[in-house]
Structure 1
């Protein structure tokens, strides 16, 4: 069957199958549309420079949407004409791209290679590129980057070579930290960037392949009852009398308030509410900070999230969380109001640090509240399927990390079943033959 000519209608109808494939044009030989497993479409052209026995070469023309089918066809015709004259466009491009710097590759990747990523993930990628990749590898030519360079990069980030203070506004600042977890996640990003370069024929191999990474993350921490008590008392104090200031000795002492009642910081009800909601719902931080009032169903006790790490989902919330939501002033379109009513609050880093220091919970992360929520659910005997739905996990394999916490409920259930069976057996033994 003769293939049809590639047109807008034909390209629009090409489905995502979960695997990469190319739909070739039935009129212009060598011209095609490559469809990635996720549905992303790019135009390609294949040719042989130097006759029938030459190795076939493939050139990526551009992304569908940024180029029309007709524009791509014109470019493909030019490349095919050059191939007829013996000019190897792919080899020339590869040579030019090999001279590209890592910094330039990152720029192109953020423009052309992130169509499948969420905005929050793209923002994290940008932060890692600016904080770690550009300072250490940005000027190096991509064709010269070796696995040894990536291993050195991994060690440097882990040891804090890129740590620094970063301004976040006129007065704000944040600390760019290194560490093993950051190093591992950044090398994974770099591996994705070089995979893009390999697909575009800029380099022949990915230098990140085979690099031994550090274990990602600092491990899960679960709050104990006594720690819950201290955190609860601190949150109550923070929104009422305020937490006492911590002074840097000898720094502008003459400008400090003299009266003790003025040496306290009262926290916004929205900040305290955000932390309590994280504890009571098991939500991720962005799910609470980006939550809009229109997404809260007070009658059914549901948060209708249009987007999250795992896509659109509904979160069932308890009455205690609904009461917290009902008590908040609606001064923004977002539930957790920040300085700008039209934008979500960026983070809770500073208040969380102050709160955990006062509660003597140093090192406790906001994400550990989600782990604690999950651990309590697992220990109560809740099934992993139900727990996974509450947490918004796409796969039960993700929830499986909490399976060991359900050992005690399983043992209690096992004992209960055995006791019931033994009781029945005992009753049967006590029956006399005359009763039969």
Structure 2
């Protein structure tokens, strides 16, 4: 341990390592800074009372200065010298916090490694289900039976029915899939409580969840053909206005436009790229021109859902990209040249309706890309690499699509058996 005082310079010079480690103050015993592999640095007060060691996280460097953290740590260390365990008292008090209060703390401090889109989904599930059903219950009083009852209530849609909630909160419909994912989130929230010392056991542990039911939809070749034809009509001639039911009057075309509305080539191009690359919607909408390498024939995505990702481009995908007008930073033009487009909801509703595939989601184009690769003989590891999957279990959902190629191989390899086993026609026997 250094004999030097812990200073701003000492904290800033502490470089992250493969594992977290402590930089202790040589002048105030028990005061130090923990350096995490991510580069995050947190101040800690460590002491022993009644034979038990306590470690209290004071705060994060950058939010607190070294001197502010030192003053806060001194309160815990000074009381410890008199035999008083302030951190232990706080933990016992926190064990009496409500589930709603725990969720609020979790969203402030427990989601640092999650992506913004994931956090947004978490907020929706917390506001739509967890708070109405469990929000007021003390975390120390939540049992496994409570979680099981909660899961079944969410599955039945009790949370989402006739609920009046304050502005800004979203309601999520019920269903077994939603219930399972919400319980998994709640398990993560309680795991956070355990790491903070508020609880010793997770009430979600051991709860048997509903099986995940796949909602994947795969386009047939006929549907793919109809979609391609619709995209051409949409950008060249325009789609009939009657497909745009519910649009505001200001969007209505003039009579001389024959009640048709052309769709931007950036929109049709984005949809083509979704089907030709298997990318997720945000990966295409947030794609920047500098991430497109026409020579290497790939996209270098610095921050996809699974981290950095290279997307290999077919000749058809390259042709779509070359045809798109370069306006601004992003490949798909949004309302402002230097900001990404937020979604494709409105044009996709009209395009899918015209193509007769209204039950198809944009994400189903990714599934269709995978299904076509499987049916053409690509292995699951290869498809996983094309889609950017980190886990082979994620790609395994497409295994059943390989039935047709296997069946073709079976029939082709059984010709010699067929002649001997099948009964011959009467004329052949005579």
TM-score under structure 1 normalisation?
A: 0.77
The 1:374/1:175 distance shift into structure 2, 3 A limit, reads same
Cα distance in structure 1, aligned partners of 2:245 and 2:72: 65
The 1:136/1:341 distance shift into structure 2, 3 A limit, reads farther
Q: How many corresponding residue pairs?
A: 405
Alignment of 1:15-414 (within 5 A): 15-17=17-19, 23=22, 25=24, 27=26, 28-34=28-34, 40-49=40-49, 51-52=50-51, 55-160=52-157, 161-162=159-160, 176-239=172-235, 240-245=237-242, 262-406=258-402, 409=405
Cα distance in structure 1, aligned partners of 2:305 and 2:368: 19
Cα distance in structure 2, aligned partners of 1:168 and 1:24: 45
Conserved 8 A contact 1:384-1:399: yes
Cα distance in structure 2, aligned partners of 1:333 and 1:181: 38
The 1:14/1:344 distance shift into structure 2, 3 A limit, reads closer
Cα offset, 1:144, TM superposition? 3.6
Cα offset, 1:176, TM superposition? 4.4
The 1:410/1:188 distance shift into structure 2, 3 A limit, reads same
The 1:287/1:225 distance shift into structure 2, 3 A limit, reads same
- Gaps (5+ residues) in structure 2? 416-430
SS in structure 1 opposite 2:307?
Answer: coil
For each residue in 1:242-265, what CA deviation from the matched residue of structure 2 results, as whole angstroms up to 9, or x when unmatched?
A: 04525889x999xx9997975544
Q: Which residue of 1 aligns with 2:15?
A: 13
For each residue in 1:132-163, what CA deviation from the matched residue of structure 2 results, as whole angstroms up to 9, or x when unmatched?
A: 33344434443343333333333333333326
The 1:129/1:354 distance shift into structure 2, 3 A limit, reads farther
C-alpha RMSD of the superposition: 4.0
For each residue in 1:293-336, what CA deviation from the matched residue of structure 2 results, as whole angstroms up to 9, or x when unmatched?
A: 22222333322212111222221212222222222233442222
Which moved further from structure 2: 265-274 or 32-41?
Answer: 32-41
TM-score under structure 2 normalisation?
A: 0.78
Cα offset, 1:279, TM superposition? 0.3
Cα distance in structure 2, aligned partners of 1:104 and 1:137: 11
Conserved 8 A contact 1:60-1:200: no
Give runs of ≥4 in structure 1 deviating > 6 Å: 3-6, 163-169, 256-261, 410-419
For each residue in 1:350-402, what CA deviation from the matched residue of structure 2 results, as whole angstroms up to 9, or x when unmatched?
A: 33333333433343222221122112222222234433322122344433443
SS in structure 1 opposite 2:303?
Answer: coil
Cα distance in structure 2, aligned partners of 1:199 and 1:206: 11
Conserved 8 A contact 1:35-1:41: yes
- Gaps (5+ residues) in structure 1? 420-436
Conserved 8 A contact 1:106-1:193: yes
Cα distance in structure 2, aligned partners of 1:343 and 1:135: 36
Conserved 8 A contact 1:46-1:58: yes
Q: Which residue of 2 aligns with 1:429?
A: none
Cα distance in structure 2, aligned partners of 1:214 and 1:85: 52
